[in-house]
Amino acid sequence: MFIQLVERIAAGDATSAPGASTDPAGSDALDALILAADPLDLMLHMEQVWDAFDPWKPEPRPAGPARRTRWTTGAFAHFEPEAGPAWHHLAYAFMLENTRAVQILQRVVRLYRSGESLGVPSVATQRWLDAAEVILGGEALPMAHWPSSHPPARDPEAGRRNAYWRLFGMELAFGAEDNSPAAYEKAEQHNADFVPLFEELLRQISRVLDAGSSDDGSMVRAAAQLRDRLLARRQGQQLARQELAASTALGWTDLTLRTNTSVVKDLGAHADSAADRLRGMGERVGLAAHARSAALIPLATGISAFLRAVESGALAESLLGGPADSAPARTSRQVIQYWTAATGHVL
């Protein structure tokens, strides 16, 4: 959600956002604007994004007049999204969370709040800490609507793990922050065959795009099978709210790491890539990032667009009907490249 908010601000009248630069061309300044925002303003905007979610129309939308009135007072109310979902696919959150970014940033928050072992944070980093406590940990959350979707005991990470398991049949590559097994509710109904179906689709796409073969129906069938599995878990808009909450939390880590932001600088983790920044931050707080973060981070955005196209039913048609260098073809090749690098699976 935060990445999309930055894009909406950049595309619109950025000067209408409190604290925005009069030169909105610099994405670093816009990133800093979001990272230093009041957490209540950010949560109010998340409510606004949820209410704009297209499937609610023409039925009554979720928010009542009191809630709707409240978010109109927020700093980002002007940047209402179009019909959505105006957030990334759950796979975006899964790939980024697999880097261990959330646990690393939560430890950064805890160490800064409890003492000076990391040094004295700048004013900008202190603003980041205020929002990070809410977005990543649910501390003092001003709108209790969101944690209620996270079983058990309102634990955001447990809720995300539950959603990943249900939609993908996959678990994160690590346990709790202390390396004990992660505790969360594992639903009986889950897509245990997501990975083989997903990889079969990637193989068929590679055959069509890279070998120049015409599709004999295998790619279309593979896309339809994967679509059926994903939509089976989404009946009645199930997992949509969890997906927004997860992509919002992981979007915060994405925004934090994609440039040398204030907290990155304060920790001395300056680097040329998000993966190296995360590695440096992890070293400062004694928690190692995933060794394949350099593949997981770029995979996140690509797999989000890819699976949205799968779920809409448009992927196979766009690949068969478009040029070899079309956006769907480029995204598919990117997903194949980074999935292979992240998993070590030869397709």
Does the predicted TM-score (pTM) go above 0.85?
A: yes
**Can you tell me the distance from the alpha carbon of 36 to that of 322, in angstroms, rounded to the nearest whole number?**
42
**Can you tell me the distance from the alpha carbon of 59 to that of 278, in angstroms, rounded to the nearest whole number?**
43
**Can you tell me the distance from the alpha carbon of 46 to that of 146, in angstroms, rounded to the nearest whole number?**
10
Cβ neighbours around 118 below 10 Å, total: 19
Question: What's the distance, CA 207 to chain centroid?
Answer: 29
Question: What does the block give as tokens for 113?
Answer: 């709040």
**Can you tell me the distance from the alpha carbon of 73 to that of 45, in angstroms, rounded to the nearest whole number?**
10
pLDDT of residue 347: 83
Cβ neighbours around 163 below 10 Å, total: 26
pLDDT of residue 151: 45
pLDDT of residue 153: 45
Question: What does the block give as tokens for 116?
Answer: 């000076």
pLDDT of residue 94: 98
Residues 6+ apart with CB under 8 A from 79: 5, 8, 9, 12, 17, 45
pLDDT of residue 95: 98
pLDDT of residue 24: 38
Q: pLDDT truncated to tens, each residue of the chain (347 aa)?
A: 888 999 888 887 444 455 444 343 457 888 889 999 999 999 899 989 988 887 766 777 778 888 888 888 999 999 988 777 899 999 999 999 999 999 999 999 999 999 999 999 999 999 999 999 999 987 655 555 444 444 444 688 999 999 999 999 999 999 998 889 999 999 999 999 999 999 999 999 999 888 776 788 999 999 999 999 999 999 988 999 999 999 999 999 999 999 999 999 999 999 999 999 999 999 999 999 999 999 999 999 999 999 999 999 999 888 887 788 889 999 999 999 999 999 999 88
3-state secondary structure of 150: coil
Q: What is the largest CA-CA distance in the chain?
A: 63
**Can you tell me the distance from the alpha carbon of 226 to that of 255, in angstroms, rounded to the nearest whole number?**
30
Cis bond upstream, residue 58 (ω within 30):
yes
Question: What does the block give as tokens for 49?
Answer: 């994004």
Cβ neighbours around 277 below 10 Å, total: 27
